[in-house]
Structure 1
Amino acid sequence: MTELAPGVVVRPLTRADLPVLDRFERELFGAGAWSRAALAEELEGPGRWYVGGHEVATGELVGYAGLSFDGVDAEVMTIGTTTGHQRRGVGSALLAALLGHAREVGAANVYLEVRVDNDPALRLYERAGFVRMGRRRGYYQPENVDAWTMSLALSNPPAPAAPPAPSDDDKEQIS
């Protein structure tokens, strides 16, 4: 476990966390919440990595986040912080954990979608260096709310190598 925000440790989530995750998901995302089955599939899916933020003092889960990695790029699947712990650095700590994991597995870029009306999340992602790429109309259902697609390059691709200088053996003989 790693302490990333004052008084909050981050640890991987397991199936045992599903009842709390299911409740938080409905509280935080309403009609657009993932089902318990979808959450279980996410926790155990290939290339998935889910973590929870837990209060050190109580062990209570106060936030959660997930990342998907396809072997090249990563995608932030979700970040949620309980209402009582928002604006306390928990979301930033969870995002930092996701980005750290993406770097560890060698992701070149991280992508995400975020509701266009979620100003706190937009500020969080933009502070982390994400840039808006485009808008997906009606992405969030059943609310029919648009999403911004955002990206973050984790590393710049290497510059093309200069051609090697010719050796004496490669130089054309002029006669």
Structure 2
Amino acid sequence: MSWTLRRATDADLEAIMAIETAMFETDAWSPATMAAEIGGPHGYYLVAEAPDGGVDGYAGLLAPEGSGQADIQTIAVVEQARRRGLGRTLMLALLDEARRRGATEVFLEVRADNPGAQALYRQLGFAEIAVRPNYYQPDGVDAVIMRLAVPEHQATLA
């Protein structure tokens, strides 16, 4: 399957929230929080649009220009689109934007009970630096904090 990545807009909020509430049943962001993130001056939110026009995933970055740091705020891919490289594609797009904004390090938090996501992040070069006990509520699941030293962009030959 082929997706088109594009900047998220307010018009995508309903589709994003449908995924958000399905994926993060107990700790989903509110529509107001998500809208503020999408429209915020330091954010960079993408949606993965399927050929039929539906949204199969989204991801968000918080990266104030020139701060040197960025945070992966959220990423989600619908069940039927998993294991096809979409999560990796979204992450790479966020990392490219973080680099463009001058970030030299990127942080993220991931649920301790999500080994699939942790494996992807490790493959991308993230390393565990700390744990926040009982961070995800009401489930009481720990958050694993991970950090990536942003590598220099490497041009490739066509």
> TM over 0.5: same fold?
yes
84, 88, 94: which one pairs with 1:88?
84
26, 48, 51: which one pairs with 1:53?
48
The structure 1 segments of at least 4 consecutive aligned residues displaced by more than 2 Å after TM superposition are: none
Question: Partner residue of 2:11?
Answer: 16
Matched letter for residue 44 of structure 1: G
Say yes or no: does 1:31 pair with 2:33: no
Give the deviation of 1:155 after TM superposition. 4.3
Q: Deviations over 1:116-150 (max 9, x none)?
A: 11011001100000000011001111111101100
Q: How does 1:7-156 map to 2 (within 5 A)?
A: 7-55=2-50, 57-70=51-64, 71-155=67-151
Give the deviation of 1:46 after TM superposition. 2.3
Percent of residue pairs identical? 40
Matched letter for residue 89 of structure 2: A
Q: Distance in 2 between matches of 1:155 and 1:64?
A: 23
Q: Deviations over 1:142-166 (max 9, x none)?
A: 111101100000148xxxxxxxxxx
Q: Considering only CA atoms, is the larger Rg found in Structure 1 or Structure 2?
A: 1
Give the deviation of 1:9 after TM superposition. 1.4
SS of 2:61's partner is strand
Give the paired residue count. Answer: 150
Give the deviation of 1:23 after TM superposition. 1.0
TM-score, reference length from structure 2: 0.91
TM-score, reference length from structure 1: 0.83
SS of 2:25's partner is helix
Gaps of 5+ in 2: 153-158
